[in-house]
Amino acid sequence: MNFLTLLKLIGAYKVYERVLKRQVEKGEMPGHIGIILDGNRRWASKHELPRFLGHELGADRVEDVLEWCHELGIKTITVYALSTENLMRDEEELNELFDLFEERLYALLKDPRLHNYRIRVKAMGKLERLPERIRVVLSKLEDVTKDYDGHFLNLAIAYGGRQEIVDGVREIAKEVKEGKVRPEDVDQELIERHLYTSHLPNPEPDLIIRTSGEERLSGFLLWQSAYSELVFLDVYWPEFRKIDLLRAIRTYQKRQRRFGR
């Protein structure tokens, strides 16, 4: 491909992006988007590149998506960064991931957009299973942003949807045992107040996006996703583009949400 052809393709892409953006801005924007980041390793394997490079570029895409969502006025984002099952991967890969998490989380801590956009950061999962160095920076992020309510960034890390429900039920059972709650008081609202997402004004994602072509939730926000619109994209996460986000939102806008009614 020569340089002139490349310029034409870039120009066409930018035009299409602007068209898509104008289209979705006319519709109702999702207030909460959940994203299952999938395909980093397969992207690296496809291009015969080191595995860690797939994770590096995947982290870059997360930063891009946060900026794109801010541009579109989307207030809440929940990213599925690491599942409890992922913690069973080999030690070398986990160390690569933890090094990357530490680097990017400290970069986020210093990012002026965190304060300019008033982003509240919350980690969700079995954090005690993470290395102390990751818990330390997550705690710092949560502490410095605890009073923000402009945007909400939730990091599902060492997370499992079934475990989240188990943890919530255990807390409720303890309160029942202590006489703080009667069994007949247990309802959906009480359970929701004991989930990891209880701090959110809108804990249920309007739209959940999964990349890499896989069509399942893999334990992501099992309680909260009961009426979420699901969009599965046949693109690996490192290749995720702004037009992919815009297309997913356009698909969401075309659906009629009846919430079982």
What letter would DSSP give residue 244?
H
Cβ contacts of 103 within 8 Å, gap of 6 or more? none
Contact 26, 113 (CB under 8 A): no
Q: Known catalytic residue: 185?
A: no
Question: Which of 2, 38, 143, 149 is labelled catalytic?
Answer: 38
Q: Known catalytic residue: 154?
A: no
Rounded to the nearest 5°, which phi and psi values hold at 77? -130, 130
- CA pair distance 111, 127, nearest whole angstrom: 23
- Name the nearest CA neighbour of 152 among 123, 112, 188: 123
Question: Which of 40, 60, 86, 149 is labelled catalytic?
Answer: 86
CA dihedral 165, 168, 173, 179 (to 10 degrees): -150
- Name the nearest CA neighbour of 78 among 65, 91, 89, 90: 65
Which residues are known to be catalytic?
38, 86
